[in-house]
Structure formats: C-alpha cells, structure tokens
Structure 1
Amino acid sequence: MAIRTLVWGENVHEQTNKTVAGIYPEGMHTQIAKLLAADEEISVKTTTLQEPEHGLTERALGETDVLVWWGHQAHGDVGDEIVERVAKRVWEGMGLIVLHSGHFSKIFKRLMGSPCALNWREAGERERLWVVNPGHPIARGLPAYFEIENEEMYGEPFSVPEPLETVFVSWFQGGEVFRSGLTYRRGAGNVFYFRPGHETYPTYHHETVGLVLRNAVNWAYNPERYPTITTAPNVPVENALEPIEARGGSVHAEGQEGFR
C-alpha cells in the first residue's frame, strides 16, 4: 500500500507576494506534492491553513501516514487545538517532516520543547549541503554534497534538542554553517527537519531536494499505530501481576482517572 502523505502549506505568501506567486503559481504545497508524487509508492494529498480546521481534521489525520509541513508568516494562526491533535498523532506513530521556516511552527516547537531559534539572512546566497551521514536512508542516492544556488541563510546556533541523527550540514556563501537535516523520534513517530525551502527561491523545483523529500517520506513512514501511548491507566491492586495488598493512603478515589 502506498504511503499516504499529506502536504500542509500555509499558502499565504503565494497569495500576497508576486515573486512567490511567480515561482509557485499553484502554491508551494502543490509543487512539493509534485516532487513526492514522482515516487509511485507515495500517495499525496495537499491541504492549507485556510481550510476548515486547517485541513487537519481527525479524519484527515487518520488517513495520513506522513505529514509534510511548510509554514512561515502565519505560525500564530494555527489553532492550539489543532497543534495538540497533530502532536498526538505523531506520538501514536504518524511521521512528520518539517521544512525550512517550519522550525518556528507551533507543532515543531511543541514536539521539540525548545525555542528552535537560529540566525538568518535573506540574500539569495549559495548553499552547499554536505551529506555527513551517507549510510542514512534519507541520504540514499545522493552525492557527497549538493548545492542550491540561491537560498536564505540559516546559521548556528540552532536551539533544538540534540538530534537522533544529523544527515546534512550546510555551508553558506557568507561563511555560516547549519545542521540542516535532523531526525528525531517523538513517541512512536519519526520526525525529520529539512532546512532548505525559502519561498522566494525555486528550491522545490530542485531535483535533488525532491529526492531528499521522497527519501524522507519513506524513512518517516511507520505502519504501526499506538493509540494508547497518551493514556495513563490506573492498574487496580487486584490486577497486579504479583499478589499485593494496598498500604497507606491515596489521593485518588477508587476508579478515578489520574490527574493531568
């Protein structure tokens, strides 16, 4: 069965900026979806911030194996209830790929538990991405490095937790470096942050970027779901694996759910 992938796009700059609209006339989310669809094992849908519940309904997420997220200008417009819904699905096993300025998205900061801040410069400089983990599935089929002629600079320090794996490190024409491909696991969900993708440059028309994204979807895919991972059931004394007797007092009445 194909990997059911949902590309979420903010879809704001495409409507308000002529440069972005010229590069992505059908929206960035549509172009990202086209890159992914080159893999016949990936089934792709798109949705945007403007849809009811931002297109991230319970049903939509229930039919999603991997969620790809691009946002920038309107992070604050994403409802907190939706963020918690997505986080729960990631904990249960849905993959999440966060792109470029999505480092400041509510969902990425929620899952990282850190500021996710960095240095930046919008000057259209060359980015050279070095593959520092060539045996990683996300790096499959890639050369030792690849270049993007025009990109926004992101520079260290990047205030995220220590990653599970670092796949790419970027060097920029101005001299800065950045950890630009990081993997995490949150609950049962695989998370990948990929740095390139500034909206005023044609990054998502880049062939090698498309390969990275397809590899990332395949890596992030987990066919299993663990719906009980967020529950905290009370195990009654009589259900203990070994015979025990209750001793001392309790702050919970019998059968009462735990405090949250």
Structure 2
Amino acid sequence: MTSNTNLRVTVWNEYRHERNDERVSKHYPEGIHAVLADFLSKAGYSVRTATLDEPEHGLTEEVLNNTDVLTWWGHMAHGEVSDEIVERVHKRVLDGMGLIVLHSGHFSKIFRKLMGTTCDLKWRESNDHERIWVVAPDHPIAEGLGDYFEIDDEEMYGEHFDIPAPDTLVFVSWFSGGEVFRSGCCYSRGRGKIFYFRPGHETLPTYHHPIVQQVITQGVSWAAPTPRKPRTFGNTPALEPYKK
C-alpha cells in the first residue's frame, strides 16, 4: 500500500445505522468511520473523522481547508445534509480536494451535484456473492491486485447506473444473481479527483475485508491533490505582438 504521512484525510460518515441497528453495530460498534479511520491511519495518513450530527456535520471551513482527501459514507439521511455544507464541499473539490464516495454515497447530494445525474441504480439485499474484476490493471488504485477479488456476501447493485461515463473505469462487479455493475469509477472535476467505490453495505463486514481496505487506501493516495500553480482566467493580453 502507498503511504504518505503528510496526507490529511477526513472520514465522513452519516453514523445513524450503527446507533440504531444491532446488525450494523455488530460489525461497526464505533461506527463505519472508526474502521475506515483505523486502517487509513495505519497506512500512514493523518486522519480525522466527522459525522452528520456534529455541528456543520463536522465539515467546518477549517476542517475542509485542512483536508486533502474526504471519504463519504451515507445512506438513510442524505436529505439531512445541509445544502450549505454540500456547496462548501463542492467548492473544495473544484479547488483540488480529493473525494472518495463509498457504496450508498452514490445517492448523496454531493455526488449527484458533481455528476449532474440522478446516480440511480438497481439493488437487492440478498447477500449475493460479488466478484470484482480489475479492468484497468495499470491504474494506481489497482496496484498489487490480481485479475479480480471476491466478497462472499454483499448487497447487489446493478446496471443501469445513471452516472456520466467515468474518466477511468477501474472495477466491474459481477454478482451471483447475474447482474454486473461499474463499481470503481474515477472522475476529475475542476482540480479535484473523485473515486466512487461500490462495496460497503452496512449490515455486512465489508470494510474489514483486506483488499477492500487496500483499494480505499490506494484510492485516497490517487485522489490526493497535485501541486500546481494557480490557474488564471478572464481577459488575457496576447503573448505575442500581432497586427490587426
């Protein structure tokens, strides 16, 4: 796995299921965000967490201005995320902050705003077997992986997934019910990089899976901001003299 002790990661989680559903708290007693933060910290990143019910959802101007990559997990309370905070996150992505959107975060306000589509899909909670095929083996997010990896029990997501065509499609999932799904999608928006990664149903221990952890860790590294000179816009004088 890639390690970068200077990379500042904020792990955002709705943190509702874990407090209300024993099936979820069994796997994530301190919240999904705690598991994500733990393995990202062990990879060498500087990690903080934020949750929906904190003031400003934990995503204050100060927090976001000191975040290189934000990870996002939400499901039952997408509508409770303040539009003001969505605008704040959106601006930071356009300015260069990376964003990792996980599982049911496909329906989050921020992902739909960045994609400009409904981001709807087919789904089924029947603990399907999932085989995740690596279709971009040279991509940094797929570093060290084989042709595919498998998750014994997962929620099914199926096509059509109403998203724009990814800049790079890294993973495609096949489910034992017969469906396929674009499960690892990379985008750029403004100066920011976005990675959507499908696995992670709350009642299943998916985020304890070592390869899932590896993919998210490498996704964070890939989405990190790239140092660049400030962009210039607006009315610009000619570089060379010319005759009218």
Structure 1 residues 199, 226: closer, same or farther in 2, change over 3 A?
farther
Question: What amino acid maps onto 1:44 in structure 2?
Answer: V
> Match for residue 12 of structure 2?
8
Alignment size in residue pairs: 237
**Correspondent of 2:194 among 188, 191, 196:** 191
**Correspondent of 2:88 among 73, 85, 96:** 85
Note the residue ranges of structure 2 that are not aligned, 5 or more in a row.
none
Asked whether 1:125 is paired with 2:124, we answer: no
SS at match of 1:96: strand
Offset at residue 224 of structure 1 (A) = 3.1
TM-score by length of 1: 0.87
Offset at residue 225 of structure 1 (A) = 6.9
Asked whether 1:216 is paired with 2:196, we answer: no
> Match for residue 74 of structure 1?
77
Structure 1 residues 220, 212: closer, same or farther in 2, change over 3 A?
same
Structure 1 residues 10, 226: closer, same or farther in 2, change over 3 A?
farther
Q: Is the contact between residue 93 and residue 226 of structure 1 (CA under 8 Å) also seen in structure 2?
A: no
> Match for residue 202 of structure 1?
205
**Correspondent of 1:163 among 132, 147, 166:** 166
> Match for residue 36 of structure 1?
40
The percent identity for this pair of structures is 59
1:99-139: per-residue Cα shift (whole Å, max 9, x none)? 00000000000000001010000011111000111100000
SS at match of 1:23: coil
* Higher radius of gyration, 1 or 2: 1
> Match for residue 255 of structure 1?
none
4+ residue runs over 6 A deviation? 225-229
Q: Where do 1:49-128 residues align within 5 Å?
A: 49-128=52-131
Q: Is the contact between residue 93 and residue 225 of structure 1 (CA under 8 Å) also seen in structure 2?
A: no
What CA distance in whole angstroms lies between the structure 1 residues aligned with 2:179 and 2:52?
32
Q: Is the contact between residue 65 and residue 223 of structure 1 (CA under 8 Å) also seen in structure 2?
A: no
**Over aligned residue pairs, what C-alpha RMSD do you find?**
1.7
Note the residue ranges of structure 1 that are not aligned, 5 or more in a row.
244-260
What CA distance in whole angstroms lies between the structure 2 residues aligned with 1:208 and 1:143?
10
Asked whether 1:25 is paired with 2:35, we answer: no
Asked whether 1:182 is paired with 2:193, we answer: no
Question: What amino acid maps onto 1:111 in structure 2?
Answer: L
TM-score by length of 2: 0.93
